[in-house]
Amino acid sequence: MQNVSGSSAGSTLDAPSGKWALVTGASSGLGVEFAELLAARKVNLVLAARRREPMESLAFELRRKHGVEIHVEPVDLSAPGAAGGLKEKLDAKALRIDLLINNAGFGLHGDFLDTPLARTAEMIQLNVTALTELSYVFGRDMASRGSGEMLLVASLLAFQPVPTYAAYAATKSYVLSFGEALHDELRSRGVVVTTLCPGHTETGFDAAADARVSPMLRRLTMKPRPVAEAGLSALAQAKPSVIAGLLNKVVAFSNRFTTRSMQRASMRKVMAP
C-alpha cells in the first residue's frame, strides 16, 4: 500500500484495532482489492455483494492470511430498500461500521435507446440510489459519534458527457458531485468523505457492460490494485477526491480547455472499439 503519512487523525487505516469496514461490490474487481488491502492492515470486514460463494472464498483466504474478523452479507443492493435492510442486519449483529467503501456499481454500454429501460433503471438504483442511501444510514451513525470515513467510487467518465455510456457516466457525475459536497458537509462532524475516480481498470466491468475495449482505451488501462491503493491513500489524507493514474489526471485536466462538444466527440472516439 502507498505511504499514507500525513493522514487524518483517527483514521481507521492508522488505528485499525477493533475497527470494521463495509465493502460493497466485494465479490469481484476493485471490491476484492479494497478487502485485501484493508485486511492486510488488520481492519475487520463486512463483505457485501449479490454472490455469496466468491465472498466466502475471499473471506476464508483473508482470515487465514491476516487473522481478521470477516462477516459475509449477500445482498442485491439494486433492489429498493436493500441498503436500509443491510444496515438493520448489521445493527442486529452489533457491527458498527467505521469505514464505508461505497464501491458497488455497474455500467451499460451502447446507445441509450437501444438499452432496455429496466436495465438502465436498475443501474441507476445501484449506482445512485443505493450509494446515497448507504451514505445516509451509515453517515448518520458516524456523525453522531464524531468519527468515520467513507470512500465513494465514481469514475473518470464523471468529468464529461460520454456517448454510448450516457446514463452510466451521468450516474458517476452524480457520485463525484455528491461525494465532494459531503466532504465539506461532514468534515466538521468528524467524518471524512473521499471520492475515487478510476479510469479504465482491469476488472469485470467490460464484460458486465457488454463492451469491447478500443486500442486507445487499452493504453489507459490500469491494474486494480494501484487504483484501490490510490483511493485508500487519499482517504487517509482526508482528500475530497482523487483521480487514479497520471494519464487519467491529464485527461480530466484537459477538459478545462475544451468545449463540451469537443469532449463528446473525443469520448466517442476513445470508446469506439
Active site residues: 168
Report phi then psi at 233, rounded to 5.
-65, -45
* Cα(49)–Cα(266) distance, integer angstroms: 34
Asked whether 227 and 201 are in contact (CB, 8 A), the reply is yes
User: How is the chain split among helix, strand and coil, in percent rounded to 5?
Assistant: 55, 15, 35
Nearest to 152 by CA among 189, 109, 182, 124: 182
* Cα(128)–Cα(151) distance, integer angstroms: 14
Report phi then psi at 148, rounded to 5.
150, 165
